[in-house]
Amino acid sequence: MSVYLDHAATTPMLPEAIEAMVGELSVVGNPSSLHTAGRRARRVVEESREQLAQAVGASPSEVVFTSGGTEADNLAVKGTYRARRAADPRRRRVLVSAIEHHAVLDTAQALADDEGAEVVLLPVDAKGRVQPDAVRSLIEADPQSVALVSVMWANNEVGTLQPIAEIVEIAHRHGIPVHSDAVQAVGKVPVDFARSGLDLMSITGHKLGGPVGVGALVAVRGAELSPLVHGGGQERQVRSGTLDEPAIRSFAVAAALAVERLAGTRVRLTALREALVAGIRGHVPDVVVHGDPDPAGRLPGLVNLSFLGCDGDSLLYLLDAQGVECSTGSACQAGVPQPSHVLVAMGVPDAEVRSALRLSLGHTSTEADVAAVVEALPAAVDRARGAGAVAAASVAAR
């Protein structure tokens, strides 16, 4: 039996999204062409843009299609920084939370390495949440030097939701644009771009039941953005390239369904998560759960746990051998021998950081999946702890 509990990395495509994509794959047409086939493809793209915009509380004219969340983050951070810096050379500071996905953190660091940006990491509390007062203090120290602020909507490792509206209010007092990576949030918690006040927001298809390789940057019409890719001038002149019409159609269908089913999804995933944590605690009483203990302050189907005395990677492989698939953190960092920057930023002790696992539920998760994980974990933890004790004794004997 295979149990998939890594939906935060990617979730299976919805049947309706597959059907929509397959239906478009058999039809030819470049959305930029002026003939009949091209106009048909353009109509599909624009109808999909409207559908996606409605799902996230935006105007269709604010949706810029990209290849996914990483490109959207790059366009938001680099594009805003370059445009704002060109208009005012004083704007060198980029404020990003210390728990951002590497698509934001590494992009900001690239600006520091190559273009003279000053990256300022916004601290988080023990729950993994940015404090608005810290944002206010860092901005007010020198508001004219800030190019942009970027804080994710929901953290991908511990699930903590961020105070986006408060951060936006603080930044906007000084005319500073705010970007949020909402990749993990759409379809799991309410996301309304217009009501949030954000200037830019990144979303992607494969986290909500759509295909891999398509996403969008939602950007207000007045957003200052320099393009990263030049060519045909598609997508408001800020993202050139032939649009992947079948993927866009599938993405829009998946987003609409995920949002339509949101209320039921939250209830179901919250119940499954609670059963999962309770079951694990029943067998491994000393397990440590990270993030916000209040369900209202976190994603409904994600849990990050530390199993003291275990190596997280070893535990992952032991579970995988029993058919349970999970992760130690972000899939983009899988296989990289370094501790979770998210847990480190939260002040989690090193022993807990290195023994952490992320279990994330999604639309295909069932009570049977939860039961299988609860059954498999005790033996895996015992073996991992045994291996850890042997390794520690070996080191001590040297």
Which sequence positions are flagged as catalytic? 332
User: Is 187:208 a contact under the CB 8 Å cutoff?
Assistant: yes
- Measuring CA to CA, which residue among 388, 390, 320 is closest to residue 357? 320
Q: What is the DSSP string of 31-44?
A: TT--SHHHHHHHHH
Q: 367-397 vs 262-283: helix axis angle to the nearest 10?
A: 40
Burial of 18 (0-12, 13-18, 19+ CB in 10 A): middle
CA distance 192 to 202: 12
> Which tokens is 199 given?
């200037």
Q: Is the dihedral of CA 165, 167, 173, 174 positive or negative?
A: negative
Q: Is the dihedral of CA 86, 87, 93, 97 positive or negative?
A: negative
Largest CA distance in the chain: 76
Helix/strand/coil for 81:
helix
Helices (H) and strands (E) in the chain, counts: 13, 12
Q: What is the DSSP string of 132-160?
A: HHHHHHHHHT-GGGEEEEE--SB-TTT-B
User: Is 132:166 a contact under the CB 8 Å cutoff?
Assistant: yes
What's 60's DSSP letter? G
Q: What φ, ψ does residue 35 adopt, rounded to 5°?
A: -80, 180
> Which tokens is 12 given?
């299976």
CA distance 48 to 249: 5
- 396 Rama class: left (phi>0) / alpha (psi -120 to 50) / beta: alpha
